[in-house]
Amino acid sequence: MNYKVLVCDDEKDIVRAIEIYLSAEGYDILKAHDGATALDLLENNDVQLVLMDLMMPEMDGISAILKIREKYNIPIIILTAKSEITDKIIGFNVGADDYITKPFNAIELVARVNSTIRRFMSLGAAPIESETYQVGRVLVNDVSKEVYVDNEKVNLTPYEYKILLLLMKNKSRVFSSDEIYREVWEEEAHDVKKVISVHISHLRDKIEINPRKPDLIKSVYGMGYKIKDNG
């Protein structure tokens, strides 16, 4: 199977460069230069990864990502021309999973795409034995990759799922932000506290009764996060 990557950037030279790099790796590339076109392509194609610029005319990347997250849980990597943490956090806040800063290195781009798709596709690879984990009202079925809260299915992004699964598998253990990043992103962690806090916030929005007073995913001051085992 050739995986499809949707590349959306209003700078056509950048889209063409990414197409050359990723086509050489065997990926099928879908090209868009604004968010609206990207959404149309998603409707009509089975896409495994989206590379999305944030600053675009007509429909910008933020608006497009919000629309994508209404229907799809596929991984999204934002392309940002700035190195400041602000753009990255905005992207994570609306549902992006990772980022690449422009101008990017071709080798880094290919490596990031390869690892992101590998992690995403592995979520669909069922282990031999059934694996389910439950804490209170939250149930994770790691065969079907489904999460239920009070018997109602909730949709998580791939990284939200991986963070929840990590905490569920290690009930009551405290993980620092760096440890979570290394386990989930499988990369060395550098200045990731804000990145992890955004993902934890999104998780709480989806599984907590009151996200402002979480009773499941607890913050341990100065140390990190844990999921509380009431059993």
Q: What per-residue confidence (pLDDT) applies to 39? A: 94
Last residue of a domain, one of 122, 156, 186: 122
Question: In this structure, are residues 177 and 197 in contact, taking their beta carbons and an 8 Å threshold?
Answer: yes
What pLDDT was estimated at residue 83?
A: 62
pLDDT at residue 56, as a whole number? 84
Same domain, 75 and 148: no
Q: Are 77 and 142 part of one and the same domain?
A: no
Looking at the chain, the whole-number percentage of residues with pLDDT higher than 70 is 93
Q: Which domain holds residue 100?
A: 4-122
Q: Is residue 127 part of a domain?
A: no
Are residue 145 and residue 88 in the same domain, yes or no?
A: no
Q: Is the pTM of this model over 0.85?
A: no
> In whole angstroms, what is the distance from residue 13 CA to residue 29 CA?
14
pLDDT digits (tens, 9 = 90+) for 133-143: 888 889 998 87
Which segments of the chain have a pLDDT < 50? 124-130, 231
* Residue ending a domain, choose from 63, 88, 122: 122
Total domain count, the chain? 2
The reply to whether 106 and 52 lie within a common domain is yes
Give the end of a domain, one of 122, 144, 176: 122
Is 14 found in the same domain as 76? yes
Do 138 and 208 have their domain in common?
Answer: yes
> Phi then psi for 54, rounded to 5 degrees?
-90, -40
Q: For residue 36, give the CATH number of its domain.
A: 3.40.50.2300
What pLDDT shows up at residue 199?
Answer: 94
